[in-house]
């Protein structure tokens, strides 16, 4: 079965892998792939935008996500519009933008030079991605606020950290739902092609 990354990069002009696969390896045509992508877009619109921003590097999808989550934070969480935009931008950066650890190159393990062996990366704690600590997140968000409207670390923890984590969780759930739905559609299509 085709991976989600391959599915989204196959029809993307920015992708290096935009060429069709060799005959016989994958009987899916470009029309089949567009059909799958259209179904994902219809059933999981937010997850689809996340995958487009993440895999296809689509800036329009990323901007729509920022606007969508800014509005959600402003209306549903009753956060002022400036702080909603800052939280939305940072949450989408964590989920969609490439945050690969530069020390281990995303592997989660780095070479310990003295003993010449692989050890868990100390920079990302073995995750392979840079995930900001609460303090780093506070400093990042506070630096984006106007200079006359700074907040303390305690205020950030009390008022905004749980909101930020809720936004990141919603983005991750939406992405997973879109991937799951795309796999379901591909499974159905592969069964139809095999029959």
Q: What is the pLDDT along the chain (195 residues), one digit of tens a residue?
A: 678 888 888 776 655 444 554 555 556 788 888 999 999 999 999 999 999 998 888 999 999 999 999 999 999 999 999 999 999 999 999 999 877 888 887 788 888 777 778 888 888 888 788 888 899 999 999 999 999 989 999 999 999 999 999 999 999 999 999 999 999 999 998 888 776
The H or E element spanning position 109 is strand 109-112
Identify the pLDDT of residue 141: 96
Identify the pLDDT of residue 94: 92
- pTM value is 0.83
Radius of gyration of the chain (CA): 20
Q: What is the DSSP letter of 159?
A: H
Q: How far is CA 147 from the centre of its chain?
A: 30
Tally of helices (H runs) and strands (E runs) in the chain: 8, 2
Helix/strand/coil (H/E/C) assignment for every residue in 67-93: HHHHHHHHHHCCCCHHHHHHHHHHHHH
- Output the CA torsion sign for 173, 56, 95, 67: negative
Q: How far is CA 178 from the centre of its chain?
A: 12
Domain ranges in the chain are 4-194
Q: For residue 92, give every residue at least 6 positions away whose Cβ sits within 8 Å of its Cβ, in sequence order, or none.
A: 53, 62, 65, 66, 69, 171
* Alpha-carbon dihedral 115, 118, 122, 123, rounded to 10 degrees: 120
How many other C-beta atoms lie within 10 A of the C-beta of residue 116? 7
């Amino acid at each position: 079965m085709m991976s989600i990354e391959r599915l989204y990069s196959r029809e993307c002009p920015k992708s290096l892998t935009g060429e069709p696969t060799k005959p016989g390896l994958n009987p899916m045509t470009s029309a089949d792939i567009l059909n799958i992508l259209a179904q994902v877009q219809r059933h999981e619109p937010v997850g689809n935008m996340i995958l487009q921003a993440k895999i296809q590097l689509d800036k329009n999808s990323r901007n729509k996500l920022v606007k969508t989550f800014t509005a959600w934070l402003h209306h549903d969480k009753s956060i002022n519009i400036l702080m909603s935009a800052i939280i939305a931008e940072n949450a989408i950066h964590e989920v969609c933008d490439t945050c690969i650890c530069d020390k281990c190159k995303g592997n989660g393990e780095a070479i310990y030079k003295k003993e010449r062996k692989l050890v868990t990366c100390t920079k990302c704690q073995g995750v392979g991605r840079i995930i900001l600590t609460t303090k780093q997140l506070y400093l990042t968000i506070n630096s984006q606020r106007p200079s006359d409207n700074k907040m303390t670390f305690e205020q950030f923890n009390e008022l905004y950290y749980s909101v930020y984590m809720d936004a990141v969780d919603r983005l991750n759930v939406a992405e997973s739902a879109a991937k799951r739905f795309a796999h379901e559609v591909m499974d159905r299509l592969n069964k139809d092609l095999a029959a």
